Amino acid sequence: MNNNILSAIFSAEFAYSVIRVTTPLLFCALAALVCNRGGVLNIAFEGCMLTAAFCGVVGSAYSQNLFVGLLAGLAGGIGIMMLMGYFNLILNANVVLTGIALNTFASGGTVFALYILCNDKGLSTSLQSLAFPNVNIPLIQDVPVLGKILSGHNVLTYVSVLCVFLVYLLIFKTPLGLRIRAVGENPSAASSVGINVTRTKFTTLFIGGLIASLGGVYMSMGYLTWFGRDMVAGRGFIGIAAQNLGNAAPMATFIAALFFGFANALSNVLQTQNIPSEAVQAIPYVATLIGLVAYSSSTRKKKTGIKQLKRRVPDGL
C-alpha cells in the first residue's frame, strides 16, 4: 500500500494535478497579496470567487460566448469587492464582519439565483455553460516528463503563473504599486504627500477582486465545467493563509500556494487509498494552521529582537 502511495505521488500525473489544484489558490493568494500590500486585506475573497464562478457560468450560458462569460464573472467578483470597499472604507464597518456578511450573501445569493434560473439548488448542469480550453505548449509538450506536467493545462492556469510576475511588476515597479504600498504601510504619511487614500484603497480592492475573480471563473469554467453550491469550499481562506505564509512577497506566495496545492492534491490521491478520507481531507487545513504558526513565530522573533515591545500589532488577518 505504501508503495502504491509513493508511486502515485512520484508520478507526472500527480505533479500535473498539483498545478491544477494550485491554480485557484494561487489566484486568491495573489489577490490577497495585493490587498495586504494596500492595507485592505479582508476575508471576502471566498464570496468574491463564488460570485465570479456563478456569474461566469450564467454569463457564458446565456451569451454562448466565453469572453462575455469571463467579463460577467469578473464583474460579479469585483462587485463583491467594491461592496467590501463601500462598507469598509466609506461606512467604516468592521472588515471581518463585513467579510462574513459578504460571504454569507454570496453563498446564499448564488444558490437563490441558481434556483430561480434553473430550478436546482445544487448544480448548474442544466445551463449550457462554456469552459476555457486546455492548451498544449508547443515545445515543452514533447519533453518526456516535463511535458506531461507543464503542458496541457487550462489556459487560466498559465494566466495564474503569469499573474505572479504581473503582480510583482505592479507592486514593485509601477507608480501605482508604490502608491498602493505607501497607503498600506502608513495611510497618514501617504495622505500627507497628496495620495488619495480612499481612492487608492478602492483601486487595490478592484485589482484584488479582478485577480480573485479569475480564480473563481477557473473553478466553474476550467477546473469543473459547472457551478456547484459553495464550490469554492474555503479556498478563499486558504489563499489568504498562503499569502500570510509567503509574507506578501510574490515568489514566496507562489511557493506557499504550491505547498497548499500539494496538500490538496495529496488528499485527493490518498482518498483512493485505504485511509479514512476525512483525515486526509483535513490535511490542507492542518497544514494552513501549521503554516500560520510558522509564519507568526518567525515574525515575532524578528520583532522581539529589536525591542521588547509587548504591543499586539495587527498583522494581517
Out of 81, 241, 257, 266, the only residue in the binding site for another protein (CB under 8 A) is 241
Q: Which residue, 161 or 292, has its beta carbon nearer to another protein?
A: 292
Contact present, 251 and 138 (Cβ < 8 Å): no
Between CA 236 and CA 24 the distance in angstroms is 9
* 45, 54, 87, 218: residue in contact with another protein (rule CB under 8 A): 87
529589536: which residue's cell? Answer: 306
**Side chain identity, residue 99:** G
User: Pick from 110, 107, 213: which is nearest to 99 by CA?
Assistant: 107
Stretch that binds another protein, among 48-56, 148-156, 183-191, 306-314 (CB under 8 A): 306-314
Q: Which three cell numbers stand for residue 258?
A: 504550491
Pick the binder of another protein from 45, 54, 218, 237 (CB under 8 A): 237
Q: How far apart are CA 238 and CA 21, in angstroms?
A: 12
Residue pair 47/183 in contact (Cβ under 8 Å)? The answer is no
Is residue 108 at the binding interface for another protein, with CB under 8 A as the rule? yes
Our CB check for another protein shows the closer of 305 and 314 to be 314
Nearer to another protein by Cβ, of 143 and 294: the residue is 294
- Of the pair 153, 235, the CB lying nearest another protein is at 235
105 near another protein (CB under 8 A): yes
Place of cell 465545467: 225
Residue 51 near another protein by CB under 8 A: no
Q: What minimum distance in Å lies between the beta carbon of 70 and another protein? A: 26
Rounded Cα distance between 193 and 33, Å, is 24
Which amino acid would we find at residue 121? Answer: K
Compute the Cα dihedral for 117, 105, 157, 180 and give only its sign: positive
* 240 binding another protein? (CB under 8 A): yes
Q: How far is the CB of 93 from another protein (least distance, A)?
A: 4
Residue number, 63 or 281, with CB nearest to another protein: 281
- Choose the binding region for another protein from 18-26, 111-119, 149-157, 208-216 (rule: CB under 8 A): 111-119
Q: How far apart are CA 173 and CA 185, in angstroms?
A: 17
Pattern of binders to another protein over 254-293, x per CB under 8 A?
----------------------x-xx-xx--xx-xx--xx
User: CB–CB of 216/50 below 8 Å?
Assistant: yes
CA-to-CA distance for 257 and 23, rounded, in angstroms? 8
Q: Does 16 bind another protein (CB under 8 A)?
A: no
Looking at this protein, which amino acid is placed at residue 150?
Answer: L
Residue 307 engages another protein in binding (rule: CB under 8 A): no
Q: What's the rounded Cα separation, in Å, for the pair 25 and 19? A: 10
Judged by phi (left if over 0) then psi (alpha if -120 to 50, else beta), residue 233 lies in: left
Binding characters for another protein, 181-220, by CB under 8 A (x = yes): ----------------------------------------
Instruction: Provide the binding-site residues for another protein, judged by CB under 8 A.
Output: 43, 87, 90-94, 96-98, 100-102, 104-105, 107-109, 111-112, 115-116, 121, 234, 237-238, 240-241, 244, 276, 278-279, 281-282, 285-286, 288-289, 292-293, 295-297, 299-300, 310-312, 314-317
